[in-house]
Amino acid sequence: MSTKQKSRWADDEEDAVLEAQRKKEKEEKKRAKAEKQRRADEAAALRAAELQGEAAAVADSSNNNTELSSRPAKRRRISPEIEGVKVELPPAKLLRFPSPEWKKCRSVEDYEKLNDIEEGAYGWVSRAKDSRTGNVVALKRLKMDNANDGIPVTGLREIQTLMDCEHPNIVALQEVVVGEDTSKIENIFLVLDFLEHDLKTLLEDMSEPFLTSEIKTLLHQLTSGVSYLHQNWILHRDLKTSNLLLNNRGVLKIADFGMARYFGDPPPKMTQLVVTLWYRAPELLLGAERYGTPVDMWSIGCIFGELLTKEPLLQGKNEVDELSKIFELCGIPTEETWPGFKRLPNARSLRLPQNPVSQGSVLRAKFPFLTKAGSQLLIDLLALNPGKRPSAQEVLEHAFFREEPRMKSAEMFPTFPSKAGQEKRRRRGTPNAPMRGNVPEIKATDFSGIFAGREDEEKGGGFSLKLI
Ligand code: ADP
């Protein structure tokens, strides 16, 4: 018979009493905890009911959100009491944010078309009268691209940049209106201040160029507008005489923001397919992906030259021809005058003459009637090295504007018969701005074929230029 051997750890009576006491304490603790939880739940339920009542009251008083009153309070208050003491919270208030005021676009039908001003390759502008006010405006239909996938980025940028601008030398966008069939994107129109002339048409129709005092007025106004754009981080990227409007009070306004965009510092990578060929800066032609305000300053230089002679300054037939015309007029870039230009994508395969003509001498010879300050301004604006071109602000302060003859005041500016009020404006073979995604990228290799055929011609121009 085996007797159960007593363990060394066997409970004795004292152990049993201790064990019973521990159990009792544990149960008491459990009960207390449960009671605390029950009271907390009760208080939470009470608070939730209060909140619901408050929400209903707010909804009733504002009388514009009936939905709220039936909605339970979403948030459960977790600690309505601290250590058993009920805390009085301030009554909950609903935060109200003002909703943006959406204004429906007016209909294009509110405007009575008077006549077409321009129906270009991919643009359409007409003169129209606001039937409500009788004001005459220019209606410009938003340009389409080939993508067919919504409002083209050029249109969005044109609206965005123009809406952000407010300057006497920038055309004012009054509003955007839509056609009957709003599903059609081509039924979006910009309503712009109407101006009687554009400089291109005016120059074509004038028998004599503008006087120096008038050129100064125009150049100063153009540069004021561009300075405002640059200060507001906007590049226009298509400055040319047909995009400069002039009213009968001698005020010039920059128009056509289809190529404009915001830029930053340092400038982001951007497409080189910008600016109409005759006004395109050499860094763009050489394929620079990062460029900035100097591209607009180059165009201003081209416009300055055009105002002086009535003829576009650099009428290249294609990119290579444009580049060679630039080099003929403005000199050949060297590592000294334009450090690092050889690293630009299209410059790597560029072979240039060993003894280049000095920058400025050809320009001076072409404009002998310009004063020293005037020709220096032109030479500076047409500096091959973008870093050497003056900023718009610097141009505004240039000695050229301070010497005689002084700028003609806008009120004294001559008036011209408006073509825009009559028939469509004519265009004589001016190239258009490049179209997004439509113009093939120009690779250095593409130059070689075209240029090989032009080599002899170029030699006749006083230097030999070769792209291999
Ligand atoms: P696109 O982007 O199609 O080239 P633009 O904005 O350059 O369109 O306008 C084309 C032409 O229409 C201009 O050269 C000018 O003759 C005329 N135009 C544009 N805007 C106005 C305006 N606000 N007032 C008068 N004519 C304008």
Ligand 1 pocket residue status of 198, Cβ below 6 Å = yes
- Cβ of residue 199 lying under 6 Å from some atom of ligand 1: no
Is the CB–ligand 1 distance for residue 238 below 6 Å?
no
- What pLDDT is attached to residue 145? 67
Query: Cα 242 to chain center, whole Å?
Result: 20
Pick the CATH number of 108-193 from 3.40.50.2300, 1.10.1740.10, 3.30.200.20, 3.40.50.720: 3.30.200.20
Q: Looking at ligand 1, which atom is closest to the CA of residue 201? A: 16
Contact (Cβ atoms closer than 8 angstroms) between residue 433 and residue 259: yes
Query: What residues are annotated to the active site?
Result: 238
Would you say the CATH fold of 197-426+444-465 matches that of 108-193? Answer: no
Peptide bond into 90 cis (omega under 30): no
Residue 67's Cβ-count burial label (10 Å; 0-12, 13-18, 19+) is: exposed
The two three-digit tokens of residue 467, written as one number: 């792209």
- CA nearest ligand 1 atom 6, residue: 256
Per residue in 184-223, pLDDT (tens digit) is 667 889 999 999 999 999 999 999 999 999 999 999 999 9
Residues forming a β-bridge with 244: 254
pLDDT of residue 89: 74
Position in ligand 1 atom list of the atom nearest CA 432: 4
Q: Whole-prediction pTM value?
A: 0.74
Residue 11 DSSP one-character state = -
- Interval 221-272: pLDDT, tens: 999 999 999 999 999 999 999 999 999 999 999 999 999 999 999 989 999 8
Architecture of 197-426+444-465 per CATH? Answer: Orthogonal Bundle (1.10)
Question: Is 70 exceeded by the pLDDT of residue 417?
Answer: yes
Q: Are 319 and 311 in contact (CB under 8 A)?
A: no
Please compute the mean of the pLDDT values over residues 276-303 and round it to a whole number.
97
**Quick one: which of 245, 254, 251 has its CA closest to 419?**
245
Residue spans of the domains in the chain: they are 108-193, 197-426+444-465
- Measure the CA–CA gap between 388 and 382, rounded to whole angstroms: 9
439 within 8 A of 284, measured Cβ to Cβ: no
- Looking at residue 53, what is its pLDDT? 60
Cβ(244) – ligand 1 distance below 6 Å: no
Q: Is 112 helix (H, G, I), strand (E, B) or coil?
A: strand
Q: Is 141 in the pocket of ligand 1 (CB under 6 A)?
A: no
Pairing of strands 188-193, 136-141: antiparallel
| Protein residue whose Cα sits closest to atom 7 of ligand 1 | 256
Query: pLDDT per residue over 120-159, tens digit each?
Result: 655 689 999 999 999 999 999 987 766 666 778 888 899 9
3-state secondary structure of 177: strand
Q: How far apart are CA 203 and CA 216, in angstroms?
A: 15
- From the CA of 192, give the closest atom in ligand 1: 23
81, amino acid identity: E
**Between 162 and 463, residue with greater pLDDT:** 162
